[in-house]
Structure 1
Amino acid sequence: MFRIDKDGMVRSALVEARRLTALERGDMPVVNGIVVHQTGGSTAQSTFNSYRNSTIGAHFLIEKDGKIYQTASLLKRANHVGLLKSRCLERHACAPAELKRLQSTTLRKRSTMEHGKVFPDRFPSNRDSIGVELVGEYNRNPDFGKIRGADEFVYVAVTGEQNAALRWLVGELRRTLKVAAEEVYRHPQVSYKTTTEAATATW
């Protein structure tokens, strides 16, 4: 079990603090979900390096050997989700008028429409979700351009050590922050991302 201190940092021997305040985008008074990602770099250090020159990042980073780093306060938002998918479209549950509006607009405008909704009518977003990155680079997909719908890149498999750490971390976050099991997602489930990102992650 862990505790969260007054600064939103986890206190546990299993989590090393590497807080980068440049990733924090304002207060996050409530957490409704957890989004699991994979990085584009092959090491934790490459991710730390990219975070220093970016406003995009997650709250946690899990190295291939299972080591967990906390990179942002749990009391602060982080830009990790990107354009938000429509929950009713993904669940095939839109009202006819909304379905028509969603189908006749761009992905960016769809995302804006979703951000105007109150949870749980939308997926958890940057403003109310914890981001967890798993170190795991991607490779070019040899089927890209040959098979219709094939992604340009394919992510490497998550390691067993990463999955063990992820199961522990997600369990502790869910228990402490009272996040429902069904509100934990892989990044492509809630945003327009490469479908293999975190596909082999388990929690």
Structure 2
Amino acid sequence: MLYIDEGGYIDAERIILKIFNNIERGKMDAVNGIVVHQTNAPTASSTFHSYQTKGATGAHFLIDRDGTIYQTASLFQITWHVGRLQSRCFLTKKCEPTDFQKVAELEKSWRNSDKVHQIEKVKNYPDRFPSNVDSIGIEIVGKSTRVINENTGKPEYIYEEVNDSQNGSLMWLIKELVATLKVSTSEIYRHPEIGRKNFTEASTAKW
């Protein structure tokens, strides 16, 4: 179990506080999930630098290449780390028939992803995936590299593998967060599973 003070900050030997108020977006009333990301940046310092810019987005934690865990936002604050949601009922095939048909039509074009998000964001959890307003975000330092797909001949971006030190810290952190915040283990996701992101992001993360 983690000790969380009245400000939403953790007091633990394995966690270094490096808070960026710039990425905090208002009070978070409940935590219903955890979302695991990769930074698409080569170093922790480059991500920290981006957190200081106007309008920055970020997450509650960052795990460096050596496994060091930083808390970068209060656990009582929303951060914009999920972005546009995918449709939970569509992906799980549990929509009402009319809703399923509507989303299926929208999903025919990636240009409609914001329209799907607008439908999802007004739903209450658990009818939607955990979102910015009710989830903890964990960033892992890791860059994507441009490669040419052998089958299509088109360029795509592939994220580097999460290393053993990072995965070890991720396992510990998620275990502690689940126990402390009473988050269901079924509500822990890699970013592309619930958002509109590169499918290789955090694909090698383990918990």
Common fold by TM > 0.5 = yes
Alignment of 1:99-114 (within 5 A): 99-105=100-106, 106-114=112-120
Does the residue aligned with 1:152 lie in a helix, a strand or coil? Answer: strand
Equivalent residue, structure 2, for 1:37? 37
C-alpha separation in 1, matches of 2:168 and 2:90? 32
Aligned length: 201
Equivalent residue, structure 2, for 1:142? 148
Note the residue ranges of structure 1 that are not aligned, 5 or more in a row: none
Aligned residues: CA RMSD = 1.4
C-alpha separation in 2, matches of 1:5 and 1:113? 36
C-alpha separation in 1, matches of 2:80 and 2:189? 16
C-alpha separation in 1, matches of 2:102 and 2:21? 38
For residue 184 of structure 1, what is the amino acid of its counterpart? I
Does the residue aligned with 2:138 lie in a helix, a strand or coil? Answer: strand
For residue 133 of structure 1, what is the amino acid of its counterpart? E
C-alpha separation in 2, matches of 1:147 and 1:59? 37
Note the residue ranges of structure 2 that are not aligned, 5 or more in a row: 107-111
CA contact (8 A) 2:148 2:155 kept: no
Equivalent residue, structure 2, for 1:125? 131
Alignment of 1:35-114 (within 5 A): 35-53=35-53, 54-105=55-106, 106-114=112-120
C-alpha separation in 2, matches of 1:166 and 1:123? 21
C-alpha separation in 1, matches of 2:88 and 2:73? 27
CA contact (8 A) 1:56 1:78 kept: yes
Equivalent residue, structure 2, for 1:184? 188
Alignment of 1:5-20 (within 5 A): 5-20=5-20
Identity %: 46
Deviating beyond 3 angstroms after TM superposition, the runs of 4 or more aligned structure 1 residues are none
C-alpha separation in 1, matches of 2:200 and 2:155? 8
